[in-house]
Amino acid sequence: TMNDKAIVDEEGKRMRDAMNDSVTLERAGRIGLIRIDHPPVNALAGPVRTGLRTAVDRLAAEAVPGGTAAGGLAAVVVYAAGRTFVAGGDIAEFDDPDYDITHLLDTLARLEGLALPVVAALHGSVLGGGLEIAMACHYRVAQAGTRLGQPEVRLGLLPGAGGTQRLPRLVGAGRALEMMLDGQPIGTDEALRLGLIDAVTDGDPRTAALAYAENLLAQGAGPRRSAERPVMVTAGAGAGNEAAAAATEVADFFARRRTALAARAAVYPALPRIVDAVEAGCTQGFAAGLAVETQAFQACLRAPQSQAMRALFFAEREAAKLPGLPADVALRPIRRVGVVGAGTMGGGIAMNFANAGIPVVLVDTSAEALARGLDIVRRNYQASAARGKLDVAEVERRMACLHGTLALADLGDCDLVIEAVFENMALKLQVCAQLGEVCRPGAIIATNTSTLDMDALARASGRAGDFVGMHFFSPANVMRLLEVVRGAHTAPEVLATVVRLARTIGKVAVVSGVCYGFIGNRMLESYLRESEFLLLEGASPARIDAAIQSLGLPMGPCRMLDMAGLDVAAKVVIEHLKAGGLPPDPSYRAAVQRMFALGRFGQKTGAGYYRYDGRTPLPDPEVADICRALAAEHGIAQRDDIGDDEIIERCLYPLINEGARILEEGIAYRPGDIDVVWTCGYGFPDHRGGPMHMADRLGAAHIVRRLEHYARQRGNPHGYWDRSALLARLAEHGGRLADFRGA
Ligand code: CAA
């Protein structure tokens, strides 16, 4: 095998020598190359780390500055095979309790310490540990289009292989902090401007780096070590680490950053630690800064926030995998999309495709409605342009993707048509039947319904195999979640095509089976039920919202419904009641129905659970009166001892319990899918990993005990507190929801 055999040329010089399956040493004249090859993204898994170490040590032994005729090496190039340079540490390894970053740190110190110039050849994604390798090299050449960044913060981490020290030395402390605190990668233009890379090539990065190295040798250039540079606190302004006079200025600079992060520091502990590490490196030097970084990295790695965010990283990717689907399923090409209904939802949906350059035919029944819809889309784009997020020319390009029409027949050449008309069964049945007639054979027909019986709509279309649910979340052009609903007869390739398309338009797709509310809204129902009972029992909207927001959700239930519209919410309840889907409990969601009856529709009418001064919610004593009256009508006793813990447990534990039922019933494939629904669609905090992840942290036994407690305390005539069989089983026998697979 390659492992133990060196490839030698006719003069006996070694050309290729595999350190192991992932790292190979090559030679091109007097330049040695380290080649990393660990598909799919060259993550720094164990074999890459050990291979890298062996390679660096081998090179150190053969280094002969300037090279010799006898074959000594004069320069080194580091490059990677496949679609990308190194995309970072192997995130899957971070759960290993023995994971130790110091070995990699030491390898990078040795790489940087080589007495020969070392050039990194970059392409694809140069992220995390990948950028840290690149920065330990002395020079960097990147293919145009390469993305460079330190995204660790999105995993609840900080750079742990020297990034907090080398990046500030290359681009200045200010820009380095921004890059590490928001985790957003940068492109080659900016990287070149900042001095993070030295050259950009349109060609093969390996070839360009070899030429770059030859050029360095021709100029007699030697190593140029990032670690030996001073840190510029502000780019060009010159308050370096040696500038004792500027010490107070430096201290101020970091103090200001810390203050700006203070509010988020408790839930994202990596943030202040990034500032600490950069400051230490700035004021006490590279080695001291590195020590702070290492200690902080190890602490964050074990912190629950990072564990949650890492689990979500993999859950988002796993959600796109459809169990039982043949790997070679042929996807249907989607070149043109139709959207029926130019309202808020339809317009938002259409924007997603226009953003991706896919032409959209937008249909509505009146010219006014169509013009209004297109105008809202245009104003949305213009607002983005005004905020500097979109080119003005791009606004026009996107608008040019949208073609309005009044004729359903114009959908005949679309590959996918999504109906987004009012949430009314008769109307949707009619539209789906019409789509069955006008769409070309093989076109996919999708409904955006959130509550109606999707299989009935599929039947109405006469093409149940081509029919699928695409449940977008409002605002449809912003929220990342797309619930893809698998009907009883949806063809596997239709499901796979839509899941793949979601990725093209920047959404995270989660597949749900058919049930009332699908995954997200079904779980939301129990949460809203309890929040409304709490209102009747005397907890104020502000009290309930504050307790929920203390978990890190952006809005509590009352604020959320005020934004969404209490009329919309109440109509859903009323329809559900008519359809016989609700328990025979007259107090069930009585609060929202009363608000609706009183014309308190929420923010848009200036009053709902709160009254509004513009968009600012203010407590409204009238709401307390309304709730008191409702409580009296329904024989519910009001209490003044409702604490935050009760609010959180009563709203969240039934939601978790419902999630467990959704798993049991096979509505969701995996617990991670449910967590993705909640974090991408409802603002559930990523640092808690989603409701299923949170349940595992709390333990099934604890949740079941509390459900039983509330069943006793509140009574349980309607089964609100019945435990799901899955939770009950885990509570009894141990185990985690995370390990549940397949009903
Ligand atoms: N570790 C382990 N697996 C990884 C990985 C990583 N860093 N990055 C990607 N993968 C896996 C994905 O799970 C996926 O696996 P499956 O095919 O089995 O699902 C596969 O690689 C392809 O990934 P994507 O589907 O995301 O592919 P993409 O082309 O859409 O995106 C990417 C590629 C931009 C590199 C993206 O995967 C990404 O952002 N990765 C994470 C980058 C990151 O956070 N790096 C920092 C890690 S922490 C670190 O670096 C610390 C350290 O060393 C000290």
Q: Check 26, 112, 132, 419 and give the catalytic one.
A: 132
Give the position, in ligand 1's atom list, of the atom nearest the Cα of 313. Answer: 13
Residues of the chain with pLDDT under 70: 1-15, 66-71, 234-245, 743
CA 123 to centroid of ligand 1, rounded, Å: 15
Give the position, in ligand 1's atom list, of the atom nearest the Cα of 314. Answer: 13
Residue 152 falls in the annotated catalytic set: yes
Contact 57, 15 (CB under 8 A): no
Cβ neighbours of residue 145 closer than 8 Å, sequence gap 6 or more = 123, 187, 188
Please state the φ and ψ torsions of residue 200, each to the nearest 5 degrees: -120, 140
Helix ranges restricted to H, 510-643:
518-536, 541-549, 557-564, 566-578, 590-597, 621-633
Helix (H) or strand (E) holding 254, with range, is: helix 247-265
Helix ranges restricted to H, 150-229:
163-171, 173-182, 188-194, 205-218
In this structure, the residue with its CA closest to atom 45 of ligand 1 is 88
Give the position, in ligand 1's atom list, of the atom nearest the Cα of 318. Answer: 19
What's the first-to-final CA gap in the chain, in angstroms?
44
Q: What is the ipTM of this complex?
A: 0.96
Contact 391, 318 (CB under 8 A): no
d(CA 108, CA 94): 19
Angle, helix 286-302 to helix 102-113, in steps of 10 degrees: 150
Give the position, in ligand 1's atom list, of the atom nearest the Cα of 154. Answer: 44
Mutate to test the pocket of ligand 1, among 86, 90, 91, 153 (most ligand atoms within 8 A of CB): 91
Q: How far does CA 437 lie from the centroid of its chain?
A: 38
Ligand 1: which residues within 6 Å by Cβ? 40-41, 43-44, 87-92, 101, 125, 127-129, 151-152, 155, 157, 160-161, 317
Coil, strand or helix at 316: helix
- Which residue's structure tokens are 């009146």? 366
d(CA 674, CA 676): 5
Specify the pLDDT at position 451. 86
Specify the pLDDT at position 340. 98
CA 41 to centroid of ligand 1, rounded, Å: 6
Give the position, in ligand 1's atom list, of the atom nearest the Cα of 161. Answer: 54
- The percent of residues in the chain predicted with pLDDT above 70, rounded, is 95
Give the position, in ligand 1's atom list, of the atom nearest the Cα of 320. Answer: 19
d(CA 492, CA 325): 7
Cβ neighbours of residue 275 closer than 8 Å, sequence gap 6 or more = 177, 254, 257, 258, 261
**Length, in residues, of the chain:** 743
In this structure, the residue with its CA closest to atom 2 of ligand 1 is 90
DSSP 274-312: HHHHHHHHHHH-HHHHHHHHHHHHHHHHHSHHHHHHHHH
d(CA 485, CA 478): 20
Specify the pLDDT at position 238. 42
CA 51 to centroid of ligand 1, rounded, Å: 20
Contact 523, 659 (CB under 8 A): yes
CA 314 to centroid of ligand 1, rounded, Å: 9
CA 264 to centroid of ligand 1, rounded, Å: 25
CA 86 to centroid of ligand 1, rounded, Å: 9
675: left (phi over 0), alpha (psi -120 to 50) or beta: alpha
CA 87 to centroid of ligand 1, rounded, Å: 6
CA 38 to centroid of ligand 1, rounded, Å: 12
Angle, helix 163-171 to helix 286-302, in steps of 10 degrees: 130
Q: How many CA atoms lie within 13 A of 680 on its CB side?
A: 27
**Long-range contacts (CB closer than 8 Å, 24 or more residues apart) made by 365-371:** 365/406, 366/406, 367/406, 369/342, 369/343, 370/342, 370/404, 370/405, 370/406, 371/404
Specify the pLDDT at position 233. 82
CA distances from 288 to 150, 176, 214, 280 (A): 20, 18, 35, 6
Q: Look at residues 94, 97, 95, 132 and name the one whose alpha carbon lies nearest to residue 111.
A: 132
Q: Look at residues 359, 395, 400, 397 and name the one whose alpha carbon lies nearest to residue 379.
A: 395
Q: Check 152, 279, 293, 525 and give the catalytic one.
A: 152
Please state the φ and ψ torsions of residue 15, each to the nearest 5 degrees: -100, -40
- The percent of residues in the chain predicted with pLDDT above 90, rounded, is 87
Specify the pLDDT at position 7. 62
Show the 3-state SS of 652-695: HHHHHHHHHHHHHCCCECCHHHHHHHHHHHCCCCHHHCCHHHHH
Structure tokens that stand for 319 in this block: 């959600």
Contact 670, 741 (CB under 8 A): yes
Mutate to test the pocket of ligand 1, among 41, 105, 132 (most ligand atoms within 8 A of CB): 41
CA 398 to centroid of ligand 1, rounded, Å: 30
- pLDDT tens digits, 3-42: 444 666 656 566 678 888 899 999 999 999 999 999 999 9
In this structure, the residue with its CA closest to atom 40 of ligand 1 is 87
d(CA 154, CA 249): 30
Specify the pLDDT at position 699. 97
- Looking at residue 485, its amino acid is V
Give the position, in ligand 1's atom list, of the atom nearest the Cα of 91. Answer: 1
Specify the pLDDT at position 70. 59
Task: Determine how β-strand 337-340 pairs with β-strand 147-149.
Answer: unpaired
In this structure, the residue with its CA closest to atom 49 of ligand 1 is 89
**Long-range contacts (CB closer than 8 Å, 24 or more residues apart) made by 426-433:** 428/452, 428/457, 429/456, 429/457, 429/460, 430/460, 431/340, 432/457, 432/458, 432/460, 432/461, 432/467, 433/460, 433/461, 433/462
Cβ neighbours of residue 264 closer than 8 Å, sequence gap 6 or more = 271
DSSP assignment letter at 148: E
- Looking at residue 267, its amino acid is V
Q: How many CA atoms lie within 13 A of 128 on its CB side?
A: 23
